[in-house]
Amino acid sequence: MIVLIGATNFLGPAVLQKLLDSGHKVKCFVRAGSDTQKLKEIKGEKEISPGNLNSLDSIYSSIKEAEAVIYLPDLKNTYYVKNLIGAANRAKLNRVIFIGSTTVLVPQENEEKKAKLKSEKMIEKSKLDYTILRPTMIYGSPKDTNFSKMLKFIKENNYFYTFGSGENLIQPVYIEDIAQAIINILKNEKTYRKTYEIPGKEPLTYNKMLDIVKDKTKINFKVRKMPIGPSKFFVNIYSKLSKKPKLDTGQIDRLQYDKAYPYDDARRDFEYSPINFEEGILKLIKKLDI
């Protein structure tokens, strides 16, 4: 049995579907009160088990009979990671796959990056047969906060905005490529106690990405380019005035960095072969009916 922790996040249903298609029995560890309707709609031998990552005992009771655990929650929550490692040790469970992020590779320093790196260090110092996968910007689910949100905005407003020149490199990865990577490494001993970057097929500039979106949506939307300096000034004011700001100056700073990563090790060890952005974004457009 495989325990899928964080099954209700936007990556969860895709991973669950791949696991079930591969013949695995799956227990979905979810927070009490979570919306599990999407999980229930997926056909296959599965169990939905409410639990609490704040409780080592709760985690232990869910994983004590598992052969492996797939951990999807954000690694910035270091206390949860510590509890999982403790529960795994008690259950004498070795195999755990963690989904991290290439955020830790961006030169910019911030509290989120520090927390994620702290979690990775805890995992590396543990006795687990771990694998950490670091995806780039994930897209392909109607619930993702990246391209789904962007496509809906473009459809409603017929314009989009960028910060800076738009010549920075990005390498977004399609959600099903992440799910397939998990299947490929699950029992692959070559991947034990290793960390892999998991990007899309090839890097492209932000401007090129928008050109592809125009072509695939058939929406000739306008692109409004915002200078970095003034944008940070106004976003700083907005973030102070808003109770729940959706943008901060750190996010604008990160847009200036290239986020392009090789995946030679992943290709060699588990035949990682992601699709290109043109194919992936077209699949998402069809899912969203845009």
User: Do 2-135 and 139-172+201-260+275-290 share a fold?
Assistant: no
Measured CA to CA, the distance from residue 272 to residue 233 in angstroms comes to 41
- Measuring CA to CA, which residue among 9, 71, 81, 73 is closest to residue 39? 9
Measured CA to CA, the distance from residue 249 to residue 234 in angstroms comes to 9
The architecture CATH gives domain 139-172+201-260+275-290: Alpha-Beta Complex (3.90)
Measured CA to CA, the distance from residue 51 to residue 11 in angstroms comes to 18
Q: Which two tokens stand for residue 36?
A: 């599990």
Measured CA to CA, the distance from residue 18 to residue 241 in angstroms comes to 43
Measured CA to CA, the distance from residue 132 to residue 147 in angstroms comes to 24
Map out the domains of the chain as residue ranges: 2-135, 139-172+201-260+275-290
Q: What is the pLDDT of residue 226?
A: 83
Q: pTM of the entire structure? A: 0.92
Measured CA to CA, the distance from residue 2 to residue 290 in angstroms comes to 36
CB 94, CB 88: distance < 8 Å: yes
Report pLDDT digits (tens) over 190-220. 999 999 999 999 999 999 999 999 999 999 9
CB 202, CB 276: distance < 8 Å: yes
Q: What is the pLDDT of residue 274?
A: 98
Report pLDDT digits (tens) over 32-44. 889 999 999 999 8
Q: Which CATH class is domain 2-135?
A: alpha beta
CB 231, CB 255: distance < 8 Å: no
DSSP for the chain reads: -EEEETTTSTTHHHHHHHHHHTT--EEEEEETT---HHHHHS-SSEEEEEE-TT-HHHHHHHHTT-SEEEE-S-TT-HHHHHHHHHHHHHHT--EEEEE--GGGGSS---HHHHHHHHHHHHHHHSSSEEEEEEE-SEE-STT-SSHHHHHHHHHHHSEEEEES-S-SEE--EEHHHHHHHHHHHTT-GGGTTEEEEE--SS-EEHHHHHHHHHHHHT---EEEEE-HHHHHHHHHHHHHH-SS-S--HHHHHHTTS------HHHHHHH---PPPHHHHHHHHHHHHT-
φ/ψ (deg, to 5) at 100: -100, -140
Q: Which two tokens stand for residue 94?
A: 């070795």
Q: What is the pLDDT of residue 133?
A: 98
- Helices 175-185 and 12-21: crossing angle in degrees, nearest 10, is 50
Q: What is the pLDDT of residue 77?
A: 97
Q: What is the pLDDT of residue 108?
A: 82
Q: What is the pLDDT of residue 245?
A: 65
Q: What is the pLDDT of residue 203?
A: 97
Stretches where the chain sits below pLDDT 70 are 231-235, 238, 243-255
